[in-house]
Structure 1
Amino acid sequence: MEPIIDGFDYRRVQVAPGVELNVAVGGAGEPVVLLHGFPQTHLMWRHVAADLAGEYRVICPDLRGYGDSDKPADVDGRVYSKRNMAADVVALARALGHERFALAGHDRGALVAFRAGLDHPDAITRLALLDVVPTVDTWEVMSGVSAAVGFHLYLMAQPPGLPERLIGAEPDVFFGHFLDLWARDPRAIPAEVRAAYLRASRGAVDSIVADYRASAGVDVEDDQADRAAGNRLGMPVLVLQQDWGAALGYDAAGVWRAWAPDLRHVTVECGHFMAEEDPAAVAKALRELLAG
């Protein structure tokens, strides 16, 4: 049996023509949507979601192209734009009865959440972003040998064909590499959850590559357009991240402050998978944001 978030109800919700998302919903109260990262599914929020469900209505979808959500073909290089994926999230919340909601995202989900905050400011009340910088800034701060940490970004940015074939030849090795490398505490992702992540990723190679390819194309263009227009995140923003600024030689808090005037930036001590490695700290930080 596939692992689930205990006590949550599961359903499928149509969010766009031909696109349904798998979503787990639990708790009652003001809504908060939690978006997962790579190479994971909504399960990465299992501890935090159960904790928050005592006070909030917690909504945990699999993103378009991931987990048990639909994986439409990327016919034009834009199907997996963060703009489309952000629109999915807003449509999901509305389908569940929420015109306004708090939003938290990790990794790829944080990029979707960032785009949702820019594109749908009237819908997003508060925003939490875990262990990323915006797409356009990511490409700008990575250079030299330090950029080797992001080799997968460059691989999946290549034209259709090669990345899918290379990753598809050994998907468990590829996706497992990140699960093993990025967790400071391997016990945070138990064997049954790791297996679930690998099964989900194995069946989503094309859509995962399309998601990353969009971040080397249309997502950069969208970020650049917002930067040029002076668009900023108007809601309170919490950023939790590892000390990537020190590792890659840039001012991480400064990068985020340029996008989010009402910013709380916190450097964490755990690994990349912080919602699994230190769920109590993540839940506490989210509560402070939601209650502020």
Structure 2
Amino acid sequence: MTPAIPGFDYRRVLVADGVSLNAAVAGSGTPIVLLHGFPQTHLMWRHVAADLAADHTVICPDLRGYGASDKPAETGGTAYAKRTMAADIVALARALGHERFALAGHDRGALVAFRAGLDHPETITHLACLDVLPTLDMWEVMRGTSAAIGFHLYLMAQPPGLPEQMIAASPDAFFGHFLDLWANDPRAVPADVRAAYLDACRGAVPSIVADYRASAGVDVDHDQADRDAGRRLRMPVTVLQQDWGAALGFDAAALWNTWAPDLRHGTVTCGHFMAEEAPADIVKALRDLLAR
């Protein structure tokens, strides 16, 4: 049986033509939506969500293309643009009765959250992004041999066909590699949750690749257009990351500050899967953000 977040109700919500998202919902009070990263599902928020639901309405969806949400075929190059995925989240919240809400995302979900903040500033009240750089900045800092750490970004940026075939040939080894490599504490992802992540990824190779491919194409175009137009995030923003800026030779806080004037930036000592490895720290950061 697939694990679930205890105490949360599960719903399927239509957010676009032919696309429904799976979402776990609980609590009452001001709403916050939590977006998962790669190679995970909404389950990555299980500890944080349970705490926040004591006094907030908490919504944890699987992004389109992931988990139990729909996985539309990519036909025009925009089905997995972060702009499209951000619009899904706004539609989801509205369908659940929330015109304005706070938004937190990790990894891929943080890129969706970032795009939602730029595209829907009247809707997103507070924004948290965990362990990413904006797409445009990410590609600019990845250079030389240090870029080898992001080999999967380059693999999945290739034209359709080869990446999907290579990953589908051994999906558990591919996705499991990141679960092992990026976790400082492997106990943070117990066996049943790990199995759920791998099972979900196994059935979503084309859509996951399409998500990453968009980040090497249309997402860069959207970020560049916003940078050229001087658009910035208007809401309070919190960013938490591992200190890979120091390791790779860039100032992550400075890069983020160009997008977010009202920024609180911090580094963490846990691994990439911080909501599972250090949930109390993430809860505190989100509660501090919501109080701003």
TM-score by length of 1: 1.00
Aligned residue number for residue 54 of structure 1? 54
Opposite residue 57 of structure 2, the aligned amino acid is R
**5+ residue gaps, structure 2:** none
Shift in Å, 1:174: 0.1
Aligned residue number for residue 225 of structure 1? 225
Opposite residue 194 of structure 2, the aligned amino acid is R
1:195-239 Cα distance to aligned partner (Å, 9 max, x none) = 000000000000000000000000000000000000000000000
State the SS of the aligned residue for 1:276: helix
Aligned residue number for residue 17 of structure 2? 17
Shift in Å, 1:244: 1.4
Distance 1:77 1:205 in 2: 16
State the SS of the aligned residue for 1:6: coil
Aligned residue number for residue 215 of structure 2? 215
Distance 2:240 2:250 in 1: 16
Whether 2:114 is the aligned partner of 1:118: answer no
State the SS of the aligned residue for 1:73: coil
Aligned residue number for residue 91 of structure 1? 91
1:70-109 matches, within 5 Å, as 70-109=70-109
Shift in Å, 1:50: 0.2
Distance 2:263 2:80 in 1: 28
Distance 2:239 2:94 in 1: 25
Distance 1:8 1:140 in 2: 40
Shift in Å, 1:275: 0.1
Opposite residue 247 of structure 1, the aligned amino acid is A
Opposite residue 34 of structure 1, the aligned amino acid is L
Aligned residue number for residue 7 of structure 2? 7
Distance 1:184 1:147 in 2: 21
State the SS of the aligned residue for 2:12: strand
Aligned residue number for residue 189 of structure 2? 189
State the SS of the aligned residue for 1:97: coil
After TM superposition, what 4+ stretches of structure 1 lie above 2 angstroms from structure 2?
A: none
Distance 1:30 1:111 in 2: 23
Aligned residues: 292
Aligned residue number for residue 150 of structure 2? 150
Distance 1:145 1:247 in 2: 12
State the SS of the aligned residue for 2:271: coil
Distance 1:5 1:240 in 2: 24
Aligned residue number for residue 172 of structure 2? 172
What's the RMSD between the two structures over aligned residues? 0.4
Aligned residue number for residue 268 of structure 2? 268
1:5-42 Cα distance to aligned partner (Å, 9 max, x none) = 00000010000000000000011100000000000000
Distance 2:289 2:101 in 1: 13
Aligned residue number for residue 141 of structure 2? 141
Opposite residue 183 of structure 2, the aligned amino acid is A
Q: Percent identity?
A: 78
Shift in Å, 1:94: 0.2
Whether 2:285 is the aligned partner of 1:285: answer yes
Distance 1:251 1:266 in 2: 12
**5+ residue gaps, structure 1:** none
